[in-house]
A and B are shown apart, each in its own frame.
Chain A
Amino acid sequence: MSTIQISNLRKTYGSLVAVDGFSLRIPDGTVFGLLGPNGAGKTTAFKCMLGLARPATGEILYDGQPLVPETFARIAYVPESSVLYEWMTVAEHVEMNRRAFPKFEPARAVVLLGEFGVDARKRARTLSKGMRTAVMVALAFARNAEILILDEPTAGLDPVNQRHVLSLIINEAARGNSVIFSSHQIGQVERAAEHIAVMNRGRLVLEGQVDDLKAERKIVEGVFPGVTYTLDGIAGDPRVARIDRTERIVRLLVVAGAEEIAARLSSAGAAGIRILDLNLEDIFLYAVSPADATADVVAQGGAA
């Protein structure tokens, strides 16, 4: 069982700052989704977590202990790019895993490979990208690890196999193991993850439980009778993260207390009050690139 604590992680590649002051606590036995645009630093964060990259500052602790070689007996990692040996067959990769990892179950690997439709006799170089991902996923899940770290585990897979990977993740969660995975498919994260963290430009911009985020984050919408109005007492409320106006229509992104703020908006003279739900994709887009969040949002303007 492992809690992972990341503290003040900073990693640079030359002049490029890949991860900047990133802190995160990943609880034990949970499915944790790491979201972020390309280049946000997710892969770098994973690499630092696994000792594959040396951070400039910061530390990563597993149950309060730094990473040592023995810890890897409990960890399974699926990297973003293919690490298979091109000239070896899939079966030889299974054998390699068997020798390297004490709890690896070759029988389970064979079953999983079959479920993904991979022919174990083929050489890795003859496999498509999706098949390579499937092989790495199958080998990782056969390792019976307590912590699975998966970087884009569904890349290149067809929808059936993608759903299969999700089922594997959920199965691990039911067994009480931790799964940390990154994906661009927000729908997958929405299903499988209990906690999420959103990274942008090397920083943590949002974190929380999916259900709580959805329950608390809302858009409160109101229509004022005229184009001149005041949002005193609302604009300053720390629970209002964003204000978008289009002439008479005001939309407030609130992180909590939607009902109360809706009531205040009503008192301020707005009619047609609506409280709109946000799904994870909306929440994510607001967190990373607010300008693209909704199709009909116009740039801010007017007096507050």
Chain B
Amino acid sequence: MTYVEWLRIRGVLKWTGIVLIAGVVLLLALRLSLLTFGSNDALLFVHGLETNKGSRVVHTTLSDGTKRTTIDNSKDHVHVVIDDLGYQGKRIQIFERSSHGMTHPHKTISMGDLHVETRASGKETVTTVETNRPESFGYYAAIASFVGLIVGTLLGAPFARENDGHLEVALTKPVRRETLGLATIGVDLAGIAAAWAMTVLFLIVAHTIIEAPHFTFGPSDATLIVLGLVGNAAWYAMLCAATASMKRSYGVILGVAWPAAIVVTVLAKLQLNGSQMGQVVHAVVTPISWIDPFSYLHFGPAYTVNGQPAGSMAVAPHLELPMLAILALVYGTLAVLQWRRVEA
């Protein structure tokens, strides 16, 4: 049965690879077209300002080769400086007259290699956008984990697939059912890890095509990698357990899993304490979100707002990894136990 599962995984990885390569090809095409038509035009608002009648546009080249574009619009009190470092990225500074009292005098958003900082100084608000700040590797790990969730869903009902008319083959082998079940899960997890690795590779290649890659790798990135893989395992194991006793309708479960998980995740994060109904919903949904691996998905330190990781998590950060590991083990065990009792 693990041979059959390997064949299945091969098929899924083949399609994953095709989709990723198609993505790379698309990015290549996009990049080449940007080179042809001038990268500044990608920033639509810049384009709008440039063509505005009151704007004065000056192009200079700095001593280190940076192409600087300055846009002055004294009528709207806007001054924009765009530094194009070519392959190394861009830096855009927007100086505006401060509008009615800002609630956050200093705000930064950091997502991957994109960094946006808004600072108020006196009557002016400066927004700085940098497109190629060194990014933590964890950002890619988080995206790869998302792909891992998808692949985990595609592989997610191995026992149900056997129950659907193949038990006479699977259960008459000289192997214990538990061994067979665990081996199947192991093989599927290897497949998910392979898809994860393929995605990371794709992302690195994709980034290299657009701009020079600068990665940082720290302990939080390592944590994110482990969290992502364990989270994938927990999600896959949950689907296994949910479908282990089914014969035909496992597709329904797999299809419903995502919307259900997303709803639980969203509801758990919303502040619903206002109404009584809201409190009830919150009380019910919160424990469910603890056992829903999907609600643990986040970008961690790779995506911060004001220095804090964005996207609240289901549980306290130091509990995430143990919880996911426990969920993976419990769900996996439930799946194998169910399959032990299935009848042909």
Contacts and interface: CB of A to CB of B under 8 A. Distances in A.
Interface of A: 47, 50-54, 69-73, 75, 77, 79, 81-83, 85, 88, 92, 95-96, 99-102
A70 B177 CA distance: 12
B343 A52 contact: yes
A71 B173 CA distance: 9
A91 to B, nearest CB: 12
Contacts of A88: 4, 7
B183 to A, nearest CB: 11
B167 interface: yes
A71 B7 CA distance: 27
Contacts of A69: 173-177
B171 interface: yes
26 contacts: A50-B168, A50-B171, A52-B167, A53-B343, A69-B173, A69-B174, A69-B175, A69-B176, A70-B174, A72-B174, A81-B165, A83-B165, A83-B167, A83-B168, A83-B169, A85-B166, A88-B4, A88-B7, A92-B7, A95-B3, A96-B4, A99-B3, A100-B1, A100-B173, A100-B174, A102-B174
A216 B4 CA distance: 52
Which 3 A-B residue pairings sit nearest by Cβ, starting from the closest? A52-B344, A73-B174, A79-B168
Interface of B: 1, 3-4, 7, 165-169, 171-177, 343-344
Given A54-B343, A79-B168, A83-B169, A96 B174 contact: no
Contacts of B173: 69, 72, 100-101
B176 to A, nearest CB: 5
Given A53-B343, A83-B167, A99-B3, 11 more contacts: A50-B171, A51-B171, A51-B172, A52-B167, A52-B168, A71-B174, A73-B174, A81-B165, A83-B166, A83-B168, A101-B174
Contacts of B172: 50-52, 72, 75, 77
Contacts of A50: 168, 171-172
Contacts of A85: 4, 166
A83 to B, nearest CB: 5
Nearest to B168: A79
Contacts of A70: 174
A187 B341 CA distance: 39
A55 B166 CA distance: 20
Highest count of chain A CB atoms <10 Å: which of B166, B172, B174, B343: B172
Contacts of A95: 3
Contacts of B1: 100
Given A85-B4, A88-B7, A96-B4, A47 B174 contact: no
Contacts of A81: 165
B307 to A, nearest CB: 51
A53 B343 CA distance: 5
A77 B168 CA distance: 8
A47 B175 contact: no
A75 B121 CA distance: 83
A52 B176 CA distance: 13
B309 to A, nearest CB: 43
A95 B1 CA distance: 11
A104 to B, nearest CB: 11
A100 B4 CA distance: 11
Nearest to B8: A87
B3 A47 contact: no
A51 B165 CA distance: 16
A51 B342 CA distance: 10
Nearest to A11: B343
Nearest to B2: A99
Contacts of B7: 88, 92
A102 B175 CA distance: 11
B7 to A, nearest CB: 6
A71 B175 CA distance: 10
A174 to B, nearest CB: 25
A47 B171 CA distance: 11
A89 to B, nearest CB: 10
Contact of B3 (A75, A82, A96): A96
Highest count of chain A CB atoms <10 Å: which of B4, B7, B168, B344: B168
A69 B343 CA distance: 15
Given A85-B4, A92-B7, A99-B3, A52 B171 contact: yes
Nearest to B344: A52
Contacts of B343: 47, 52-54
Nearest to A80: B168
Nearest to B11: A87
B344 to A, nearest CB: 4
A71 B174 CA distance: 7
B110 to A, nearest CB: 45
B11 to A, nearest CB: 8
Contacts of A83: 165-169
Contacts of B166: 83, 85
Contacts of A102: 174
A70 to B, nearest CB: 6
A69 to B, nearest CB: 5
Contacts of A96: 3-4
Contacts of A73: 174
A47 B7 CA distance: 28
A47 B168 CA distance: 9
A281 to B, nearest CB: 29
Nearest to B342: A52
A47 B344 contact: yes
Contacts of B344: 47, 52-53
A47 to B, nearest CB: 6
A81 B169 CA distance: 11
A69 B179 CA distance: 11
